[in-house]
Chain A
Amino acid sequence: MFQKILIANRGEIALRIIRGCHELGIKTVAVYSSADELSLHVRFADEAVCIGPPPSSESYLNIPSILSAAELTNSSAIHPGYGFLSERPEFAQICQENNFVFIGPSPEIISTMGEKATAKKTMQKAGVPVIPGSDGVVNSIGEAYSIASEIGYPVMLKATAGGGGRGMRLVQSKEELEKSYLTASSEAEKAFNNGKLYLEKFIENPRHIEIQILADQFGNVIHFGERECSIQRRHQKLIEESPSPAINNDIRKEMGEAAIKGAKSIGYLGLGTVEFLFDSITKEFYFMEMNTRIQVEHPVTEMVIGKDLVKAQIKIAFGDEIPDNLGKFKLRGHSIECRINAEDPNRDFMPSPGKVEEFHAPGGNGVRMDSHIYAGYNIPPHYDSLIGKLIVHADDRTTAINRMQRALEEIILEGPKTTIPFHQAIMRDETFQQGDFNTGFIETFSYT
């Protein structure tokens, strides 16, 4: 097993990885910016190296500093966590070149799956369902008409150079197509200097359902079921759960097999998540993207399958083969996770860093809190606002919601404003309780 792992991350995920390492008897090295000197991951690790000033670009994203710290501490492997450098192919590359095992897939895979258009093509070639649409950009209005009539309206016209919802047009019918095409194209030209568009079927009321997979170096790939992540605000997940109230065993089996097929086709290694858009009406699912790292919401899967994903990830990176029993999982009960952010839900989720005056985590049966905060801790303003994940597990969804309500009530957190009251409101919401929601839920959710 690895002697020593350097965790190139911070906050709750750094803690999570350190805990997994300690259980495996692996020494840990924390790297930190000067703003994180009193952070819990620094205190829990066996060694810690200050690698830079507060700005991420000069610390947690500073590849030479991180590699230097790995060198100085004689680390055997580097765990990138999520965010930061976890999906940067050049970081994985540099780790390899300097004889550090990068805990994740190869730089080539990270690169392929990191490029959305390439990832989609790659999955399509493997026989994974993708959102029907044009093959690359549309070269003329005529072409747009023929593709649209083939896949059926409504369709989405999207700028290929675009992002953040800009340069997109929803086209409900044939009659709207030409005008939408022209305005979307000129808008894209103005905004991104590239007026090229591509066309995709518009999925109404999509749900975001993702499959957790694990692949070893011997070509074995297994899946651990799905996570329902449709409760999102501006494309940021707020609440995740497993299993999804929207799918049954048959669909689960199909999605799992599709995810495995896709992962095998690229020779994937390690922990990964294949994200799908699920059409609640037609029950079809389409590949959206693949995350080649551990995810924030991984605890929800851990609770329903009863396995430790971080330890599994480390063992795979070391070269272990997936043990036989790991693939024979059963989804047991129901788990929900609420991401607690230091943000003020009454002020449009404005970040609320600063000192945590009081903190007491909830507990009891089926309650897990993954957090790096403590009473007296100063939440720095330089990084993301996630201060903890509250995860519950129970026999069924209703009991899980009930348990989450109980746990949210129990949290004592004084100082910064948090999204706890917002989560409480969602737990009380009838639509959420019925499980019949989609990615449009938060937009229409009224919180006072």
Chain B
Amino acid sequence: MLRGLSDIFESWQSRLRTIIDILETSEVNEIEVSFFGRKIRVSKGSVVNSIQSPVQVENITEPQTVSENINTNQTSETQVTPGIEIKAPMVGTFYRSPSPESPSFVNEGDHVSVGQVICIIEAMKIMNEIESETSGQITKVNAEDGDAIEYGQPIFFIDPD
């Protein structure tokens, strides 16, 4: 049985209203829901105050595909730094320069292009040059020279062009 778009939109709106009602009359401060690929977050002003505080509706527009079976628990902590993560593609020891005496491959503020070497990850005495897969500006170097790095660990933040 096909439902018209207007029907769907209407039920969406009434559900939202229900959620806002729940929020206003309870101690719940924030509810996040997904509808048809869209995410909506509804949050109250303050935590303790049970008086009617303004309810904000935030529309997070990027649809998020959640994989059912695979636990894609990305280690995304609250990003204070602008840009996207560059994650380590392997396990090893992180080095910022080709040798102890040389200058670092990249520094914060540098612009890098696709394929440019940004660091070395050493594993089993082999120095692997890690290339950037994005073109952009390095906003943060997230690891120190000599750090032990695991697969998937964010090592740089980059602001893509």
Q: Which residues of A contact B70 (CB under 8 A)?
A: 35, 54, 378, 380-381
**CB interface residues, A 91-105, toward B, < 8 Å:** 98
Query: A361: shortest Cβ distance to chain B, in Å?
Result: 22
Q: How many residues of B contact A (CB 8 A)?
A: 18
Q: Which residues of A contact B92 (CB under 8 A)?
A: 68, 72
The one of A72, A380, A381 in contact with B91, judged by C-beta atoms closer than 8 angstroms, is A72
Contact: A72 with B71, CB < 8 Å?
no
The one of A51, A53, A353 in contact with B69, judged by C-beta atoms closer than 8 angstroms, is A353
Q: Does B134 contact A (CB under 8 A)?
A: no
The one of A38, A52, A73, A98 in contact with B71, judged by C-beta atoms closer than 8 angstroms, is A38
Q: B119-142: contact bitstring with A at CB < 8 Å (1 yes, 0 no)?
A: 000011010000000000000000
Q: Which of B68, B69, B90, B91: most chain A CB closer than 10 A?
A: B91
Bound-state Cα–Cα, A65 to B148, Å:
12
Identify whether the interface residues of A are mostly helix, strand, loop, or mixed: mixed
What's the A-B contact tally at a CB cutoff of 8 Å? 65
Contact: B123 with A37, CB < 8 Å?
no
**CB interface residues, A 152-179, toward B, < 8 Å:** none
Query: A65: shortest Cβ distance to chain B, in Å?
Result: 5
A51-B150 CB under 8 A given contacts A37-B71, A68-B91: yes
Q: Does A354 contact B (CB under 8 A)?
A: yes
Identify whether the interface residues of B are mostly helix, strand, loop, or mixed: loop
Q: Which of B69, B72, B92, B150: most chain A CB closer than 10 A?
A: B150
Q: How many residues of A contact B (CB 8 A)?
A: 26
Query: B76: shortest Cβ distance to chain A, in Å?
Result: 13
Contact: B71 with A68, CB < 8 Å?
no
Q: Does A317 contact B (CB under 8 A)?
A: no
The one of A54, A65, A73 in contact with B90, judged by C-beta atoms closer than 8 angstroms, is A65
Contact: B123 with A64, CB < 8 Å?
yes
Bound-state Cα–Cα, A381 to B90, Å:
22
Q: A34-70: contact bitstring with B at CB < 8 Å (1 yes, 0 no)?
A: 1101100000000001111110000100001101110
Contact: B151 with A53, CB < 8 Å?
yes
Q: Does B152 contact A (CB under 8 A)?
A: yes
Query: B88: shortest Cβ distance to chain A, in Å?
Result: 9
**CB interface residues, A 342-382, toward B, < 8 Å:** 353-354, 378-381
Q: Which of B70, B90, B124, B153: most chain A CB closer than 10 A?
A: B124
Bound-state Cα–Cα, A50 to B90, Å:
9
Contact: A34 with B93, CB < 8 Å?
no
Q: Does A71 contact B (CB under 8 A)?
A: yes
Residue of B nearest to A31 (CB): B91
Bound-state Cα–Cα, A59 to B68, Å:
21
Contact: B71 with A50, CB < 8 Å?
no
Residue of B nearest to A36 (CB): B71
Q: Which residues of B contact A50 (CB under 8 A)?
A: 91, 150-153
Contact: A34 with B151, CB < 8 Å?
yes
Query: A326: shortest Cβ distance to chain B, in Å?
Result: 37
Contact: A35 with B91, CB < 8 Å?
no
Contact: B71 with A49, CB < 8 Å?
no
The one of B72, B73, B91 in contact with A51, judged by C-beta atoms closer than 8 angstroms, is B91
Query: A400: shortest Cβ distance to chain B, in Å?
Result: 36
Contact: B69 with A67, CB < 8 Å?
no
**CB interface residues, B 87-109, toward A, < 8 Å:** 90-93
Q: Which of A71, A73, A353: most chain B CB closer than 10 A?
A: A71
**CB interface residues, B 70-92, toward A, < 8 Å:** 70-73, 90-92
Contact: A65 with B123, CB < 8 Å?
yes
Bound-state Cα–Cα, A195 to B90, Å:
44
Query: A359: shortest Cβ distance to chain B, in Å?
Result: 16
The one of B69, B91, B124, B126 in contact with A354, judged by C-beta atoms closer than 8 angstroms, is B69
Contact: B90 with A37, CB < 8 Å?
no
Q: Which residues of A contact B72 (CB under 8 A)?
A: 34
Query: B107: shortest Cβ distance to chain A, in Å?
Result: 25
Bound-state Cα–Cα, A65 to B70, Å:
22
Q: Which residues of B contact A67 (CB under 8 A)?
A: 123-124
Q: Which residues of B contact A68 (CB under 8 A)?
A: 90-92, 123-124
A65-B91 CB under 8 A given contacts A52-B151, A98-B124: yes
Residue of A nearest to B126 (CB): A64
Question: Which 6 residue pairs spanning A and B have beta carbons closest together?
Answer: A68-B123, A72-B148, A50-B150, A68-B91, A50-B151, A378-B71
